[in-house]
């Protein structure tokens, strides 16, 4: 069957369809040398070159290709392959040299099958008074370390046990302390580590509506109505709203990916970003105890963030006139699964956009405009944690990215809390940890080439030029090399980074630009030489800048980050210290939170927010939202 991708309804950046995924897996199975035990972890579109995408017209042909990643237990190796859907061929196949395929549903069931039959583990549970293993929920943890006595080649996971009373309860409420079970799912080998018996907490910690004793009763209905429908237009995966235009897709590792973000300021659609996504994240734990010290999950690349997308529901996750989009992912056996309502698109009222009251003329009513923002979002559940990722587009040309962190903190049992694992409830100690998100922002401000500048504010020296001693100035410095561009935040100096197009000037003669305004985000606290430090090295700096390379899409070890020793990604990309001035620049921004758990985070954590803003800085010639009309519902006084 010829599937030359010339159909006018397919764009080079469209997500892979269920048919394309199934066809890729069939082509792979027929051509590859993997054993019959091999299974897929994920499929990722092999994106066409930028030039093909940017010059694409509906009737042009282009190559449609899929990257397939999986694991072969018989070979005890993971693999990475590229299948051309256009030619119907397996075009490349490689066994992984370092690292393994991401962890997915293909791994979890074998782990359970092995562990629940293991006599050492069952005996360790008995020593804790747990006679019935069916009362145990096992949390599967990614395991970067090499457990004693296990093969370094192993497909190794760590099972952490929790007691549950019934299937509907909070199964993180009763952690079984001191017991770690390492399972090699390739060989069936199990190593049980017992660090000593600690009493299992017996208090329930319920959050489900029917298990919470009392609900407050004073909430009146709050309804969002849009009688004429939303103001956005959707054409396949292309979205237009209030002068904004972009494409999106859902990918296995990164989740939501936005492409070719543009704003029409009357002179045409001006490019701002070619591609923007969460490249990876790391969640390192700071409690050095044997139960927690080794934990540092790369929750995007290791555990397939895109596959862990929630099916969102109206009135619960999202309020208003919502447009949902499904996502399709590859199953271990080559079949596909559709996650319904994985992506939510809607508009929100966001307070005031701008206002001024002319106090000199009391006859004039205040001029005020409501701010409206477009939100495109997904929520992912990664074991105990739930992460919502929200892109906001504003009428003033700003773009915001926000991570919402919620779910259940990873906890253990202890009679007393410590500075590294404070008590959040009696007998429940939750280790301190970080959530660090690495964004990949491939800028294309006015079509490029672009440069990145650091802007910060410093006081003027005392002297005749500064007679009040109050002067300060904005200092702008162009970051010329990858080494110079490894930067951290400095809120006291209002440090920000600006991506400019030196060849495109605004009406005051300055290069147009977009500013990355960071929040007060931490960097990685683990030491540089630790496994955490090597594998999560991207989080050592809030900013990195690289010249674009099609081979550098991941800030860490990419699709083979599982059990990878580290050193891949940004530290490797930037080793040659390449020039980044006047180039096709990719900005990498790590932000996040250091989480010192509180009693209020138990039994389920209220949302904590982290993110950053991208603000036009001389990109427009004036406030681009001056043309937003007054709201119809604005009452004149
Ligand atoms: Cu946390």
Is the pLDDT reported for residue 146 higher than 90? no
Q: For 264-269, what is the mean pLDDT?
A: 91
Q: How far is the CA of 599 from the centre of ligand 1 (A)?
A: 13
How are beta strands 175-184 and 156-163 bridged, if at all? antiparallel
Q: Containing H/E element for 121?
A: helix 119-126
Instruction: Say if CB 298 and CB 319 are below 8 A apart.
Output: no
Cis, bond preceding 603 (omega within 30 deg of 0): yes
**With bands split at pLDDT 50, 70 and 90, how would you rate the model's confidence at 2?**
very low
Instruction: Say if CB 379 and CB 291 are below 8 A apart.
Output: no
Q: For 66-94, what is the mean pLDDT?
A: 97
Q: For 581-587, what is the mean pLDDT?
A: 98
Is the pLDDT reported for residue 122 higher than 70? yes
Grouping H, G, I as helix, E, B as strand and the rest as coil, residue 444 is coil
**With bands split at pLDDT 50, 70 and 90, how would you rate the model's confidence at 637?**
low
Ion ligand 1, residues whose Cβ is below 5 A away = 595
Q: How far is the CA of 284 from the centre of ligand 1 (A)?
A: 10
Rounding to the nearest 10 degrees, give the CA dihedral for residues 142, 143, 144, 149.
Answer: -160
The encoded tokens of residue 305 equal 């963030």
Enumerate the active-site residues: 299, 385
Is the pLDDT reported for residue 5 higher than 50? no
The β-bridge partners of 44 are: 67
- Cα separation values, 162 from 195, 200, 466, Å: 16, 9, 65
Share above pLDDT 90 across residues of the chain, in percent, rounded to a whole number = 92
Average predicted confidence (pLDDT) for the chain: 95
**With bands split at pLDDT 50, 70 and 90, how would you rate the model's confidence at 3?**
very low
pTM: 0.96
The 10s digit of each residue's pLDDT in 209-256 is 999 989 999 999 999 999 999 999 999 999 999 999 999 999 999 999
Instruction: Say if CB 257 and CB 249 are below 8 A apart.
Output: yes
How are beta strands 585-595 and 543-547 bridged, if at all? antiparallel
Q: How far is the CA of 430 from the centre of ligand 1 (A)?
A: 9
Q: Which of 37, 188, 187, 186 is nearest to 100 (CA)?
A: 186
Q: How far is the CA of 292 from the centre of ligand 1 (A)?
A: 13
Q: For 11-40, what is the mean pLDDT?
A: 95
Tracing tokens 């010639």 back to the chain, one arrives at 621
pLDDT at 7: 45
Grouping H, G, I as helix, E, B as strand and the rest as coil, residue 421 is coil
Beta strands in 383-522 (DSSP E): 385-394, 399-407, 412-413, 423-425, 428-429, 433-443, 451-459, 472-479, 496-505, 511-518
Q: How far is the CA of 372 from the centre of ligand 1 (A)?
A: 30
Beta strands in 506-625 (DSSP E): 511-518, 543-547, 585-595, 605-616
d(CA 252, CA 259): 16
pLDDT at 636: 62
**With bands split at pLDDT 50, 70 and 90, how would you rate the model's confidence at 496?**
very high
d(CA 113, CA 115): 6
Instruction: Say if CB 245 and CB 264 are below 8 A apart.
Output: yes
Q: How far is the CA of 174 from the centre of ligand 1 (A)?
A: 18
The encoded tokens of residue 210 equal 């029917």
Q: For 100-109, what is the mean pLDDT?
A: 93
Q: For 387-393, what is the mean pLDDT?
A: 98
Q: How far is the CA of 491 from the centre of ligand 1 (A)?
A: 23
**With bands split at pLDDT 50, 70 and 90, how would you rate the model's confidence at 152?**
confident
Q: How far is the CA of 408 from the centre of ligand 1 (A)?
A: 8
Q: Taking CA 295 as the corner, what is the angle to CA 291 and CA 298, rounded to the nearest 5 degrees? A: 160
Which comes out higher in pLDDT, residue 149 or 20? 20
Instruction: Say if CB 267 and CB 427 are below 8 A apart.
Output: no
Q: For 108-116, what is the mean pLDDT?
A: 93
**With bands split at pLDDT 50, 70 and 90, how would you rate the model's confidence at 140?**
very high
- Cβ count within 10 A of residue 545: 29
Residue 9 has φ and ψ, to the nearest 5°, of -90, 0
Is the alpha carbon torsion for 601, 603, 606, 607 positive or negative?
A: positive
Q: Containing H/E element for 250?
A: strand 244-251
Q: For 384-397, what is the mean pLDDT?
A: 98
Is the pLDDT reported for residue 419 higher than 90? yes
Q: For 394-410, what is the mean pLDDT?
A: 98
The 10s digit of each residue's pLDDT in 423-437 is 999 999 999 999 999
Q: How far is the CA of 433 from the centre of ligand 1 (A)?
A: 6
d(CA 471, CA 495): 17
**With bands split at pLDDT 50, 70 and 90, how would you rate the model's confidence at 566?**
very high
């Amino acid at each position: 069957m010829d599937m030359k991708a010339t159909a006018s309804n397919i764009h080079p950046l469209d997500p892979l369809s269920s048919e394309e995924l199934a066809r890729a897996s069939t082509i792979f199975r027929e051509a590859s040398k993997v054993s019959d035990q091999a299974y897929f972890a994920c499929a990722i579109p092999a994106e066409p070159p930028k030039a093909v995408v940017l010059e694409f017209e509906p009737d042009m042909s282009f190559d449609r290709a899929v990257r397939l990643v999986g694991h072969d237990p018989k070979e005890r190796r993971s693999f990475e392959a590229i299948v051309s859907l256009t030619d119907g061929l397996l075009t490349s196949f490689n066994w992984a040299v370092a690292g393994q395929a991401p962890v997915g549903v293909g791994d979890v069931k074998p782990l359970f099958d092995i562990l629940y039959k293991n006599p050492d583990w069952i005996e360790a549970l008995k020593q804790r008074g747990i006679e019935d293993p069916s009362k145990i929920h096992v949390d599967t943890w990614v395991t970067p370390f090499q457990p004693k006595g296990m093969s370094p080649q192993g497909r190794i996971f760590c099972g952490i046990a929790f007691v549950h009373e019934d299937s509907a309860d909070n199964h993180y409420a009763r952690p079984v302390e001191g017991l770690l079970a390492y399972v090699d799912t390739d060989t069936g080998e199990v190593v049980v580590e017992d660090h000593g018996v600690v009493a299992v907490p017996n208090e329930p910690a319920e959050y489900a509506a029917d298990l919470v004793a009392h609900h407050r009763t004073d909430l009146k209905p709050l309804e969002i109505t849009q009688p004429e429908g939303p103001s956005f237009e959707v054409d396949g995966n292309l979205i237009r709203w209030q002068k904004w235009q972009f494409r999106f897709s859902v990918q296995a590792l990164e989740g939501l990916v936005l492409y070719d973000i543009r704003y029409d300021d009357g002179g045409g659609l001006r490019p701002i970003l070619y591609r923007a996504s969460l490249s990876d994240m790391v969640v390192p734990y700071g409690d050095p105890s044997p139960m927690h010290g080794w934990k540092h999950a790369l929750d995007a690349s290791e555990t397939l963030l895109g596959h862990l997308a929630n099916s969102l529901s109206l009135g619960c996750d999202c309020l208003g006139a919502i447009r949902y989009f499904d996502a399709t992912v590859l199953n271990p056996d080559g079949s596909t699964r559709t996650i319904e309502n994985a992506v939510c698109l809607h508009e929100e009222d966001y307070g005031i956009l701008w206002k001024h009251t002319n106090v000199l003329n009391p006859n004039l009513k205040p001029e005020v405009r409501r701010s409206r923002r477009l939100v495109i979002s997904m929520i992912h559940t990664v074991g105990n944690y739930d992460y919502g990722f929200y892109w906001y587009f504003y009428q003033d040309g700003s773009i915001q990215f926000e991570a919402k962190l919620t779910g259940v903190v990873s906890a253990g049992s202890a009679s007393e809390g410590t500075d590294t694992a404070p008590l959040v409830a009696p007998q429940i100690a939750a280790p301190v940890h970080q959530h660090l998100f690495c964004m990949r922002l491939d800028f294309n401000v006015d079509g490029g080439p672009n440069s990145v500048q650091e802007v910060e504010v410093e006081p003027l020296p005392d002297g005749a030029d500064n007679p009040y001693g109050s002067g300060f100035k904005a200092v702008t410095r162009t970051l010329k090399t990858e080494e110079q561009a490894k930067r951290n935040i400095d809120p006291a100096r209002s440090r920000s980074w600006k991506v400019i197009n030196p060849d495109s000037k605004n009406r005051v003669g300055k290069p147009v630009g977009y500013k990355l305004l960071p929040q007060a985000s931490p960097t990685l606290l683990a030491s540089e030489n630790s496994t955490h430090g090597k594998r999560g090295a991207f989080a050592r700096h809030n900013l990195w800048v690289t010249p674009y390379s099609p081979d550098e899409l991941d800030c860490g070890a990419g699709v083979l980050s599982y059990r990878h020793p580290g050193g891949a990604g940004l530290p490797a990309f930037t080793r040659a210290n390449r020039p980044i001035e006047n180039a096709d620049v990719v900005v990498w921004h790590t932000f996040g939170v250091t989480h010192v758990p509180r009693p209020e985070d138990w039994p389920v954590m209220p949302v904590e927010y982290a993110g950053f803003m991208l603000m036009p800085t001389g990109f427009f010639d004036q406030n681009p939202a001056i043309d937003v009309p007054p709201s119809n519902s604005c009452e004149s006084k």
